[in-house]
Amino acid sequence: MSQLGKIFLGIALVGALAAIAFGYLDITAYDAQTVQLKQTQDDVAAQTQKTKKVQAEADAAKAAQAKAESDFADQSKKLDDLNSQLADAQTQETTLKTAVQTATDTATKAQAELTRIAGVLKNEAPEEVMAKVDKLTQQVAADNAEQKILEDQLQAAAKQVSDLKIDINNIGKPSRMPPGISGKVTFVNTTWNFVVLNVGLSNGVIPNGELVVYRGRDFLGKVKVTSAEDNTAVADIIPGSKADIQVGDDVLN
């Protein structure tokens, strides 16, 4: 081989080696880019999943907020309705009180007039006196009957006012007492058959809730809450109690 041929051969070998080196570098760079691309795709997928989760949480929070707003609106409407009914009932109660007083005054005047006439008409014929007496007696009876009707209506109106006040006071409060309430009997009224307890609204006690009464391990009976304050409650003794409930007895649910 000539010297020139050797030179060309050397150049060819150098070129081939350079081509191999550049090819290796290209392959290495491609592999690195492939790894980087895969990592980027994984990051994008993870971010997409995170975005979906955040969106789902946001949707759930929005739905919960909408429900809370709807519940609040319902409670507000119910409270407005009860306040309106309470105002009507109080107006009716006031009107009936006036009517009862008027009927009472009328009956009193009729009775006084009957007494006066009976004394004044001593010289009149008995049948005339009796006719007037009978008429006034009927008037008094009618007035008394009207007074009784109005008193019954007044009592019903007063109860309606009381019930509405209880309903308004219970708006937004739980309808059941939570378990674990424990307290003591602090007062007993045997005449009206009720007790006072040292637990109240702050302990979870609510009107119409029932509590069991114990003394030691002995079951005594049950009581039903009629009204409750923050730390006290009044409860009726439910008929059928096995023993007399006393101050210091335990109550629980």
Locus of tokens 């050797």: 6
DSSP category for residue 203: G
Q: For residue 8, name the pLDDT band (cuts at 50, 70, 90).
A: low
Fill in the DSSP letter of residue 191.
T
CA–CA separation, 85 vs 93, rounded Å? 12
CB 199, CB 230: distance < 8 Å: no
pLDDT number for residue 24? 59
pLDDT tops 90 at residue 215: yes
CA-to-CA dists, residue 161 to 4, 6, 80, 99, 155, angstroms: 124, 121, 15, 18, 10
Amino acid at residue number 42: D
H or E segment at 13?
Answer: helix 3-120
Judged by phi (left if over 0) then psi (alpha if -120 to 50, else beta), residue 204 lies in left
Sign (positive or negative) of CA dihedral 130, 132, 133, 137: positive
| Closest C-alpha to 248, from 189, 169, 185 | 185
Rounded-to-integer distance, Cα 84 and Cα 157, Å:
14
- Residue identified by tokens 């070998």 is 13
Quote the pLDDT of residue 174: 56
- Cα angle 23, 27, 28; round to 5: 115
In the three-class reduction of DSSP (H, G, I as helix; E, B as strand; rest coil), residue 227 is classed as strand
Domains, the chain, in order of start with CATH, read 1-172 (no CATH), 182-252 (2.40.10.410)
Counting Cβ atoms within 10 Å, is residue 80 exposed (0-12), middle (13-18) or buried (19+)?
exposed
Residue 248: which of 200, 202, 210, 197 has the closest Cα?
Answer: 197
Percent of the chain with pLDDT over 90: 25
Q: Contact, 166 vs 229, CB < 8 A? A: no
Specify the higher pLDDT residue, 246 or 132.
246
Residue 224: predicted pLDDT: 95
Q: Are 45 and 37 in contact (CB under 8 A)?
A: no
Task: Please report, to the nearest 10 degrees, the dihedral formed by the alpha carbons of residues 122, 123, 127, 132 taken in order.
Answer: -50
Sign of the alpha-carbon dihedral angle for 70, 76, 78, 84 = negative
Which pTM value belongs to this model?
Answer: 0.36
What average pLDDT is seen over the chain?
83
Angle at 15 between CA 14 and CA 18, to 5 degrees: 85
8 A C-beta contact, residue 226 and residue 206: no
**Where is average pLDDT lowest: 8-12, 153-157, 236-240?**
8-12
